[in-house]
Copies of this chain bind each other. A is one copy, B any other.
């Protein structure tokens, strides 16, 4: 019988990753293109097609069965519509599933990117064997995904899991979403960058100035890691503060969800790893009920950058 293939896509604000998988979930090829999000929906679709075409370039010894994809924003996964995605120029209610199925003549399944990350870790990574999982992904922003009784929980309009927009500090810093004091405004890489730059402006010194881009003042996760490891006082202070807020938020959510496992991922966690996990855990324990804390594991995701591809694969295979 001919081999079956699946494609998993991780559509981000800056890049699109793609993986071609065989029916044993082995990735046999990968591809990557820039998203060109600022140029609008048609260009984004074109870039997605380039990734798919690249993956399918060598004629397959078999048959493409389905495509799965994760994309930021509020997703209507039933109809495959990008309802609302503030960081990408899709416009409102973009019918991505319809467009892709018309072109490729195979089923196309769409989900929220952080939800898909959580699914990837649940099915193929750190979450194996657990039923109730909170996934929290810390990078430019903070995303989340919730697995309940072994299934992704998407909520009433597909917007569940917005852990980055739980309120940790009422009347705290302004968040991209318009609220104040969201976790994302306190503990994302963007929040840490803001806090470090504001302290530098006040005259504090830090070795991070030797790492960061002189022009756009961008602070990458790797810069945070290198300077944290060097013992830089300002960076440690800012990262530790982020861990404190992450710990409150996670401890608080644990009291509501009583999960088996919390999985941490995203660029910031991949860079700073156990340093952050230790601190997050200490604060979470302070704010979480003992019986709930004792029964819950804390893990760093095992799939790294590939979590989105594997999550999208699981979406494609499940349907």
Contact = CB atoms under 8 A, between A and B. Distances in A.
**Copies per complex of this chain:** 2
Contacts of A257: 155, 160
Interface in A253-271: 253, 255-260
Contacts of A259: 155-156
Nearest to A169: B170
Given A162-B255, A253-B256, A256-B166, A295 B179 contact: no
A134 to B, nearest CB: 9
Interface string A205-229: 0000000000000000000000000
Interface string A157-183: 111111101111110000001010000
A177 B83 contact: no
Given A83-B291, A158-B258, 17 more contacts: A132-B156, A155-B259, A155-B292, A157-B258, A157-B292, A157-B295, A159-B255, A160-B258, A162-B255, A162-B256, A162-B258, A162-B292, A163-B255, A165-B252, A167-B251, A167-B287, A256-B256
A289 B177 contact: yes
Interface of A: 74, 83-84, 131-132, 144, 146, 148, 153-163, 165-170, 177, 179, 245, 248-249, 251-253, 255-260, 286-289, 291-292, 295-296
A30 B153 CA distance: 39
A245 B84 CA distance: 28
A155 B289 contact: no
A266 to B, nearest CB: 17
B156 A256 contact: no
A289 B296 CA distance: 29
A287 B165 CA distance: 8
A314 to B, nearest CB: 19
